[in-house]
Amino acid sequence: MNLIEDLRWRGLLAQSTDEAALLDSLKKPTTLYCGFDPTAPSLHAGNLVVLLVLRRFQLAGHNPIALVGGATGLVGDPSGKNEERTLNSTEIVEGWVNRIRTQVSSFLDFDAPKNPAQVVNNLDWTSPLSAIEFLRDIGKHFSVNQMLSKDSVSARLEGGGISYTEFSYQVLQSYDFLELYRRNNCTLQVGGSDQWGNIVAGLDLIRRVEQGSGHALTVPLLMKADGTKFGKTAGGSVWLDPEMTSPYAFFQFWLNSDDKDVINFLKVFSFKSHEEILELEKSHNENPGLREAHRALARELTSLVHSEETTQRVEAAARALFGQGELSELDEVTLASALAELPRTTISASEEIPTWVDLLAASGVVDSKSAARRIVKEGGAYLNNEKISGEDFRPSKTDFLCGKYAVLRKGKRDLAAVELA
């Protein structure tokens, strides 16, 4: 099975330029790229879809280039947005570029002897360009009529309007493709399906300026079975940065996938073989309660994004905290490492222990003390897995396991640790 067939099987093909020509060119090692704009300090789970496609291409022997949009990130892509973006300062974007560059790098192999990956920043070739050069050398090849017809632009013309800045985005992205075509003989760009217009604009530019040809491939926007956007939880986006989404939360995110989504997610994100996935699908259908597929998904992704060692730690923590066994039966080492994965507050042993409400608010599990009180009233408050009643409840020293730790819980799975120091 070739790469394209594999991508199709996984549901990763949305659109492509002439497939026969693309297949033909992929018979030999091809240089391809995908861009990531710095719109936040970290990439999120949704970015993983296309980032892993890049990795799939490398594993199939092609040369991937990850482009970090130091320039395009300053301008803002109108695609998929119904409102103008607020511009971020150059310092902020620069900081994000560096972080995302590092992040992206961990998914690609830069030492592959035959097809090493590269990371580039489009600011490198965009910033030396003067406005006049840009208009004469690049702008001249663009027809405003065509630019207006792009979905990303026309949607905005009908809606909230679009600034000249964002209108120009497609020109910048096209120029990136041209530049990589010239420098690296990059002939394929992949991206989310919302990028189709920008990508084919690049192909047009290459054709006009260099009389060259290239290919475009987009992956579908991943949706959950219930029709909502993938990658959001109550807390917001699921980030790849462990500071922004803890590995514990990251693992839980995958583990809590909807049954109807899990096999689909395995296809999209996992590097397991088709046979392995079909096997998991079978066992999942036979006994969904076991959640083997969920676990396999969570393990693989957490290991890939963080590390195998982290996965083991995080999974052990979840086992300890969700286990049927008594928390008090855990030894101090197990308990300490499990709690290390949770948000925590430290209180002083010499002072009076605060009330449960204060502790929970301090740990950040709830937004306010009112919310904490509400939880108690509704019967969703637990100390060391025991239900608490009464807002004024105050843990005593003996509630601290191993004399040191208390586990606060809100609802079924929102946990925090209190350490007595």
How far apart (Å, rounded) are the C-alpha atoms in residues 77 and 156? 12
> Could you say which of 92, 112, 138, 371 contacts RNA (CB under 7 A)?
371
Give the shortest CB-321-to-RNA separation in angstroms: 8
Cβ distance 76 to 166 under 8 Å?
yes
| Binding residues with RNA: total (CB under 7 A) | 35
Q: Does 380 bind RNA (CB under 7 A)?
A: yes
Instruction: Identify the three-state secondary structure at position 395.
Output: coil
The tokens describing 276, both together, are 């392995």
Distances (CA, A) of 100 to 35, 89, 168, 181, 334: 11, 17, 23, 23, 34
Distances (CA, A) of 421 to 50, 348, 400, 404: 45, 5, 11, 7
Q: How many CA atoms lie within 13 A of 235 on its CB side?
A: 14
Q: Does 294 bind RNA (CB under 7 A)?
A: yes
Give the shortest CB-391-to-RNA separation in angstroms: 8
- Token look-up 């018979």 returns 27
> Could you say which of 29, 80, 288, 364 contacts RNA (CB under 7 A)?
288
Q: Does 252 bind RNA (CB under 7 A)?
A: yes
How far apart (Å, rounded) are the C-alpha atoms in residues 203 and 209? 10
Site string for RNA, 132-171 (x = CB under 7 A): ----------------------------xx----------
Give the shortest CB-214-to-RNA separation in angstroms: 36
Indicate the helix (H) or strand (E) that contains 417.
strand 414-420
> Could you say which of 91, 286, 289, 333 contacts RNA (CB under 7 A)?
289
Query: Near RNA by CB under 7 A, which window of 89-97, 179-187, 286-294, 343-351?
Result: 286-294
Of 182 and 295, CB closest to RNA: 295
Name the burial class of residue 421, with classes exposed (0-12), middle (13-18) and buried (19+) by CB atoms within 10 angstroms of its CB: exposed
> Could you say which of 58, 373, 405, 416 contacts RNA (CB under 7 A)?
373
Of 259 and 419, CB closest to RNA: 259
Instruction: Identify the three-state secondary structure at position 415.
Output: strand
Q: How many CA atoms lie within 13 A of 292 on its CB side?
A: 12
Site string for RNA, 212-241 (x = CB under 7 A): --------------x-------x-------
Q: Does 95 bind RNA (CB under 7 A)?
A: no
Q: Does 259 bind RNA (CB under 7 A)?
A: yes
How far apart (Å, rounded) are the C-alpha atoms in residues 222 and 32? 22
Give the shortest CB-159-to-RNA separation in angstroms: 8
How far apart (Å, rounded) are the C-alpha atoms in residues 82 and 22? 33
Closest CA to 121 of 50, 183, 78, 192: 183
Of 80 and 160, CB closest to RNA: 160
Q: Does 258 bind RNA (CB under 7 A)?
A: yes
Q: Does 322 bind RNA (CB under 7 A)?
A: yes
Helices (H), 229-368: 247-255, 259-269, 274-286, 292-305, 308-322, 332-339, 356-363
Indicate the helix (H) or strand (E) that contains 381.
strand 381-383
> Could you say which of 291, 299, 306, 313 contacts RNA (CB under 7 A)?
291
Instruction: Identify the three-state secondary structure at position 365.
Output: coil
Give the shortest CB-417-to-RNA separation in angstroms: 16
> Could you say which of 370, 390, 397, 402 contacts RNA (CB under 7 A)?
370
Of 211 and 324, CB closest to RNA: 324
Of 26 and 262, CB closest to RNA: 262
Residues belonging to the chain: 421
Q: Does 285 bind RNA (CB under 7 A)?
A: no
Segment 400-419, which members bind RNA (CB under 7 A)?
A: 410-414
Of 91 and 367, CB closest to RNA: 367
Concatenate the DSSP letters of all residues of 63-83 into one string: EEEEEE-TTHHHH---TT-SS
Give the shortest CB-351-to-RNA separation in angstroms: 17
Query: Near RNA by CB under 7 A, which window of 59-67, 101-109, 175-183, 318-326?
Result: 318-326
> Could you say which of 117, 255, 277, 304 contacts RNA (CB under 7 A)?
255
Report the interface residues with RNA, using CB under 7 A.
Answer: 160-161, 226, 234, 252, 255-260, 288-289, 291, 294, 318-319, 322, 361, 367-371, 373-375, 378-380, 410-414
